[in-house]
């Protein structure tokens, strides 16, 4: 006999994956900001003020390729959620398959979330978890 997942475990998974979702969203932005900082180098810390533009150019040339590559990689990381979505599907399908209610998979998951999970979150269902669940193919509009 298969058993239903405990609400505390579902809560822990959902909250941690919501944090992953939130942090993935900002990765490319932070990398882009760092890249732009390199492009905006204006150095005024060298003893000879006439060397400032040369120093800035040298710094930009030395760092630009590496930071641009990191920015491109960060864009790929932020959109490469396949494995995350597989994990979201696994836990939500476990809930659906072990829920005693009737109806469609969407109705079962919504009923379980609404009747079992809403009281465990003080601030409501984490937005990142709803977003990832939706990206994984679940209808979350009826989740309270």
Three-state secondary structure of 43-93: CCCCCCHHHHHHHHHHHHHHHHHHHHHHHHHHHHHHHCCHHHHHHHHHHHH
- Residue 144 falls inside a structural domain: no
> Which residue's structure tokens are 């919501």?
18
- Residue 78 falls inside a structural domain: yes
- Residue 140 falls inside a structural domain: no
- Residue 143 falls inside a structural domain: no
What is the tens place of the pLDDT at every residue in 61-119? 889 999 999 999 988 887 788 889 999 999 999 999 998 877 899 999 999 999 889 88
Query: Length of the chain, please?
Result: 144
- Residue 47 falls inside a structural domain: yes
pLDDT band at 17 (very low <50, low <70, confident <90, very high): very high
pLDDT value at position 97? 93
Residue 31: domain span: 7-135
pLDDT band at 122 (very low <50, low <70, confident <90, very high): confident
- Residue 79 falls inside a structural domain: yes
Is residue 6 within 8 Å of residue 112, measured between CB atoms?
no
33 burial via Cβ count (<10 Å: 0-12, 13-18, 19+):
exposed
Rounded CA-CA distance 114/139 in Å is: 13
Rounded CA-CA distance 101/107 in Å is: 9
* Higher per-residue pLDDT: 55 or 19: 19
pTM of the model: 0.76
For the cut 90, the answer to whether the pLDDT of residue 52 exceeds it is: no
Mean pLDDT for the chain? Answer: 87
- Residue 99 falls inside a structural domain: yes
Residue 46 region by backbone torsions, left for phi larger than 0, else alpha for psi between -120 and 50, else beta: beta
For the cut 90, the answer to whether the pLDDT of residue 140 exceeds it is: yes
Count structural domains, the chain. 1
Rounded CA-CA distance 119/7 in Å is: 10
């Amino acid at each position: 006999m298969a058993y239903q997942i405990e609400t505390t475990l579902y809560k822990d998974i959902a909250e941690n994956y919501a944090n992953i979702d939130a942090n993935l969203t900002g990765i490319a932005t932070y990398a882009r900001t760092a890249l732009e900082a390199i492009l905006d180098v204006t150095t005024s810390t060298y003893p000879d003020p006439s060397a400032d533009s040369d120093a800035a150019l040298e710094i930009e040339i030395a760092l630009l390729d590496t930071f641009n590559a990191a920015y491109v990689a960060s864009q790929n990381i932020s959109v490469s959620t396949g494995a995350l979505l597989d994990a979201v599907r696994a836990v939500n399908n476990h809930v659906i398959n072990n829920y005693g209610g009737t109806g469609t998979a969407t109705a079962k998951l919504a009923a379980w979330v609404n009747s079992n999970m809403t009281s465990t979150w003080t601030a409501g269902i984490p937005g990142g978890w709803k977003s990832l669940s939706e990206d994984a193919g679940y209808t979350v509009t009826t989740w309270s």
